[in-house]
C-alpha cells in the first residue's frame, strides 16, 4: 500500500465531547513529528456531542477519520473496530481522556523499531485517581495474571500500546466474538517490550471503568483466556461424583451388613 501512513492512532470514545479537542491539540503535533499519520476515532454510541466533534475534525483534516457505532457496544468492540480500519505501518491504541500522554507515543515507536511487534506502556504512577480505583485496578491485574497461566499478561498496563502492522493483521484475523483486546494481543505471542510512564489525571468527564466494569472485564478475560474456570468445574464435578459414590456405598453397607434400611431409599440412591 504506497500511501500507508507511518502511524495510525486508534481512539475509542464514549461521551468525550470535551476531551477530543484537547486530545487533538496534543496528539497531532506528536504524530507530525514522527511522519505521516492517521487518527481513527471510534464513537462507541456516545449520547453527547462526540460524533459532531468527530465530523468537524474530519472536515478540517481528512487524516482524522471516524467510525460511529449504532449504540454502545463497549470499549473492547471499539478498539477492535479501530484496529480493523487502521491502515498505518504502526498502530497506537490510546484513550481520549489524556490520562495516557500522547508524548509517550514517540518512545513506543522508537522501541518498536528496535525489533518489537508490540510495545506496551506500563503505568508507574496514576495521577488523579481515587484510592478505591487504584486498589481495584491493582487487584484486577494481579487476579488476571494468576488466572492466565498459558501466556504472560503484563501487569499495570491498559490498552495504551503500539503494534506493528504484522501484529495488527494477526489480531484482525482472530475470530473471537467475545473480545479482550490486551489478552488477545498477549496471547498472539509477538515479540514484546514495554516503556514505563506516569499516567496523568483525566482532563474531562468520568471514567468508564468503575469496579463493576472491571469485574465484568475480568470475568470475560478469565473465561476467554484462562483454563482455571474449566479446571475448577472439572474438579467440582469429580468431587460431586465422589461424594455421590461414597454415599451410595454407605447406604449399601448399612443395608447388607447392618439391616438398616429406608424403604426404597437404597434402590434410589444406588440407581
Q: What is the pLDDT of residues 15-40, one digit of tens each?
A: 999 999 999 999 999 999 999 999 99
Residue 207 C-alpha cell reads as: 471514567
Q: Please tell me the number of Cα atoms within 13 Å of 171 on its side-chain side.
A: 29
Give 10's contacts (C-beta < 8 A, 6+ positions apart).
40, 42, 79, 82, 83, 86, 91, 92, 93, 94
How is domain 7-226 classified at the CATH fold level? Spore Coat Polysaccharide Biosynthesis Protein SpsA; Chain A (3.90.550)
pLDDT > 80? residue 58: yes
Tell me the per-residue pLDDT of 189-209, one tens digit each, with 9 for 90 and over.
Answer: 999 999 999 998 877 766 665
Q: pTM of the predicted model, to two decimals?
A: 0.76
Tell me the per-residue pLDDT of 101-138, one tens digit each, with 9 for 90 and over.
Answer: 999 999 999 999 999 999 999 998 766 566 666 676 66
pLDDT > 70? residue 98: yes
Task: Give the chain's radius of gyration (CA, Å).
Answer: 25
Its sign, for the CA torsion 236, 242, 246, 247, is positive
Amino acid at each position: 500500500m504506497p500511501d500507508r501512513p507511518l502511524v495510525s492512532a486508534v481512539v475509542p470514545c464514549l461521551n468525550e465531547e470535551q476531551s477530543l479537542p484537547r486530545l487533538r491539540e496534543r496528539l497531532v503535533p506528536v504524530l507530525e513529528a514522527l511522519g505521516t499519520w492517521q487518527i481513527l476515532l471510534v464513537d462507541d454510541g456516545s449520547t453527547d456531542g462526540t460524533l459532531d466533534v468527530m465530523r468537524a475534525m474530519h472536515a478540517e483534516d481528512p487524516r482524522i477519520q471516524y467510525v460511529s457505532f449504532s449504540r454502545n457496544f463497549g470499549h473492547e468492540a471499539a478498539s477492535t473496530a479501530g484496529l480493523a480500519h487502521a491502515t498505518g505501518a504502526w498502530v497506537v491504541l490510546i484513550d481520549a481522556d489524556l490520562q495516557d500522554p500522547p508524548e509517550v507515543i514517540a518512545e513506543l515507536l522508537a522501541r518498536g523499531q528496535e525489533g518489537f511487534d508490540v510495545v506496551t506502556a506500563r503505568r508507574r504512577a496514576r495521577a488523579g485517581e481515587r484510592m478505591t480505583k487504584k486498589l481495584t485496578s491493582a487487584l484486577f491485574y494481579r487476579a488476571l495474571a494468576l488466572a492466565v497461566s498459558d501466556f504472560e499478561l503484563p501487569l499495570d498496563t491498559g490498552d495504551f500500546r503500539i503494534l506493528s502492522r504484522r501484529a495488527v493483521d494477526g489480531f484482525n484475523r482472530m475470530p473471537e466474538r467475545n473480545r479482550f483486546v490486551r489478552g488477545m494481543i498477549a496471547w498472539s505471542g509477538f515479540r514484546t517490550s514495554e516503556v514505563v510512564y506516569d499516567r496523568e489525571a483525566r482532563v474531562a468527564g468520568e471514567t468508564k471503568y468503575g469496579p463493576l466494569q472491571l469485574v465484568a472485564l475480568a470475568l470475560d478475560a478469565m473465561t476467554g483466556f484462562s483454563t482455571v474456570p474449566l479446571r475448577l468445574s472439572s474438579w467440582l464435578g469429580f468431587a460431586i461424583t465422589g461424594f455421590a459414590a461414597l454415599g451410595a456405598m454407605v447406604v449399601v453397607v448399612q443395608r447388607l451388613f447392618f439391616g438398616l434400611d429406608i424403604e426404597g431409599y437404597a434402590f434410589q440412591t444406588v440407581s
